[in-house]
Structure 1
Amino acid sequence: MNAYSAEGLGSGGVSVWTLNPGELVFELDRPMSVVRVLRLPPTGTETAHRVIIDLDTVSDARFASMAKRDVRRFAKAEADAGKAAEKAALQLAGASTSTRKVPLRGTKGHVVVIDAGHGGKDPGALAVNGGKEKDITLKAALDLRDLLEADGRYTVRLVRDTDVYVDHEDRVTRARNWNAELFISLHADAAGNSTVAGASVYTISARGEGRIDREASRNNWVIPIEDGTPQRLTGILSDLVKRETKTRSGEFAELLLPELEKAGPVLRNTHRSAGFYVLLAPDVPAVLLELGFLTNAEDARRLQSDRGREAAVQAVKRAIDSYFDRQDVRLASQ
């Protein structure tokens, strides 16, 4: 399959279909299974291959049984393919797939980029007791910057330090240009139900991953590969970097969750996935942190108080420390 992406509405049980490089996804409106797949070569003046996939409706029980089996098969195939690709790449190219960045001249320690969500013309969510998301995220970003810089272990960059709007692609581009080792986008959520409260953390979703290559090409987010690496291996190495970036993002999210619980309420399903644009960097571990719900009176008061914000940013700081402690141990063992 070539590097082509498309999506559209389906019919006959398929509500939406999405084509990404190496992947075809169907969203179904009822349980269905694949009964036949035909691969047809080009004919006549056609240059493209064709694939015909026949689906048939099955019972809920049959679907659940087949899905459970296929999940196991897919996980094993993906793991085997990843191990084989990594072994071949390291043997033939001798290249490192680490997402650790080379610090810019004049920087010290680990580079952390903090993105205060919204800003300028975009106020974000509105708090029930007054106030705007853009102001809350900026104050939290400034507090977190001061806390990290006082440590002396980090170089901190802010996507914005005033009330200005920054395009989403520029937020990611700046993080990459600053050689970020970790990118944290701060937000505050809103819900139709005023009783919903608590923090949550997002990392890239499967659907979001399908956008990474497209946006990387559009914005020239080139993954640096060691000079002299054979051309046939650059794709493998790039995939390994993206896989490691996703792993590191998830690792930081899992370190952050227990710290957030110490600072205030969290959602029941706290670690979530989404295709948010700020999570699309192919080589910068990134999370989007929703500090709470501005549509909830308690959360709104907490996030607009110095004490509440301090507890939140202290939690983030502890998670950052744990994350880089682990990275330093890994680096020392290489």
Structure 2
Amino acid sequence: MPEHVVPRATASLRLGLALLTGLTSVPALAQETSASRPVTMTPPAWPAPGAPLSVAQVRFPKGFGTRRIYLDAGHGAQGNTGNRSVTCEDEEAFTLRVAEDLARRLEATGHFQVRLSRKSGERVPYPSRLNAARKWNAHALLSLHSDARGMASPWEPSPGQQCYRQDASPGFSVLWSEEADAPLRTRRAELARAIARHLGRAGFRHYDGVDYEGLYATDSAQPGVFVSRVSEPTHRRIFVLRRPTLPSVIIETHHALDFEEAARWREERTLEAFAAAVAQGLVDALAPTAPPESSAAAQP
């Protein structure tokens, strides 16, 4: 039987529920203080409500031009809806929602053209997605997903609705595959590390990889990055990582079974910070020699 997961503090749960049910703002929590000593205010850590995220300006080096980004909304193939979140949202619905938002923000910079792998209601096979990216001569392929980790317990976000919950493993991860020739391996690694680096700078927490043991190796160059090894059996190596002939990564945006983290991914600020970090990661990877001091700024 799954182990019991103890819910977080009542105030935190109340704030998370407010976000998940569509409220755009929530009141700040009052700090209980002692009159005998001063209060030190420290920002909460991600994914707690109110944990800060920064939306950095994206800097484009002179001559960067326009890059073509193929954005895969993970899952959505026939019989493949992905995981179900702590609020019973199918992963395919989450990834499409976030991919559409990210595409809009990337294109708003004027430096990216974006194509989505699927639209609402479409069932697109994964080989067709890779063929479309290749025929379009995309410069990079990003596949968006959410993760489901650890031993989860059933719970009801609303009466009569049962999902699973596990609040112990939050954070993003970025995956790349070493199954390629040396130049492509290098470009994949650079892309994964650049995106993870800027996600961390924005305030997102990286996943420690505890549940990845035996699946992916830890990339020692950048926290939050993991490698699909060529030594693994083929059925355990991910198609959209190993098969593309262009730089490709999977971004596991968060742990979908974590109540607070799922709530944060309903916030506009989260989407803004995510888009800025991904955009800067793309710039770093696709124009890695550009000097930062000669860059022009744009908001995603």
| TM-score (ref. length: structure 2) | 0.58
Residue 251 of structure 1: which of 190, 202, 221 is its match? 190
Cα distance change on mapping 1:115 and 1:183 into 2, 3 Å: same
Q: Is the 8 A contact 2:102 2:271 kept in 1?
A: no
Gaps of 5+ in 2: 1-64, 152-165, 210-223, 229-236, 292-300
Q: Is the 8 A contact 1:200 1:271 kept in 2?
A: yes
Provide the C-alpha distance between the structure 2 equivalents of 1:177 and 1:327, rounded to a whole number of angstroms.
27
1:1-334 to structure 2, matched below 5 A, reads 109-119=66-76, 121-193=79-151, 194=166, 195-205=168-178, 209=179, 242-261=181-200, 262-269=202-209, 270-274=224-228, 275-326=237-288
Provide the C-alpha distance between the structure 2 equivalents of 1:130 and 1:260, rounded to a whole number of angstroms.
26
Letter paired with 2:242: L
Relative CO higher for 1 or 2, CA cutoff 8 Å, sep ≥ 6?
2
Provide the C-alpha distance between the structure 2 equivalents of 1:143 and 1:325, rounded to a whole number of angstroms.
24
Cα distance change on mapping 1:125 and 1:309 into 2, 3 Å: farther
Q: Which has the larger radius of gyration?
A: 1
Provide the C-alpha distance between the structure 2 equivalents of 1:286 and 1:328, rounded to a whole number of angstroms.
21
SS in 2 for 1:326: coil
1:12-40 CA-partner distances (Å, limit 9, x unpaired): xxxxxxxxxxxxxxxxxxxxxxxxxxxxx
Q: Is the 8 A contact 2:198 2:278 kept in 1?
A: yes
Percent of aligned pairs with the same amino acid: 30
SS in 1 for 2:107: helix
SS in 2 for 1:266: coil
Superposed displacement of residue 304, structure 1: 3.0
Superposed displacement of residue 161, structure 1: 2.9
SS in 2 for 1:152: coil
Name which of structure 1's ranges 114-123 and 151-160 shifts more when overlaid on structure 2: 114-123
Q: Is the 8 A contact 1:142 1:161 kept in 2?
A: no
Provide the C-alpha distance between the structure 1 equivalents of 2:241 and 2:175, rounded to a whole number of angstroms.
9
Superposed displacement of residue 253, structure 1: 1.0
| TM-score (ref. length: structure 1) | 0.53
SS in 1 for 2:208: strand
Q: Is the 8 A contact 1:143 1:310 kept in 2?
A: no
Q: Is the 8 A contact 1:245 1:282 kept in 2?
A: no
Provide the C-alpha distance between the structure 2 equivalents of 1:109 and 1:318, rounded to a whole number of angstroms.
14
SS in 1 for 2:252: strand
Superposed displacement of residue 299, structure 1: 1.7
Letter paired with 1:200: S
User: Where in structure 1 do 4 or more consecutive aligned residues deviate above 4 Å?
Assistant: none
1:23-69 CA-partner distances (Å, limit 9, x unpaired): xxxxxxxxxxxxxxxxxxxxxxxxxxxxxxxxxxxxxxxxxxxxxxx
SS in 2 for 1:155: strand
Q: CA RMSD in A?
A: 2.0
SS in 2 for 1:139: helix
Q: Is the 8 A contact 1:263 1:312 kept in 2?
A: no
Name which of structure 1's ranges 110-119 and 122-131 shifts more when overlaid on structure 2: 122-131
Superposed displacement of residue 327, structure 1: 6.3
1:219-242 CA-partner distances (Å, limit 9, x unpaired): xxxxxxxxxxxxxxxxxxxxxxx3
SS in 1 for 2:193: helix
Letter paired with 1:185: S
Q: Is the 8 A contact 1:172 1:278 kept in 2?
A: yes
Superposed displacement of residue 282, structure 1: 4.9
Superposed displacement of residue 144, structure 1: 1.3
1:83-109 CA-partner distances (Å, limit 9, x unpaired): xxxxxxxxxxxxxxxxxxxxxxxxx82
Provide the C-alpha distance between the structure 2 equivalents of 1:189 and 1:163, rounded to a whole number of angstroms.
22
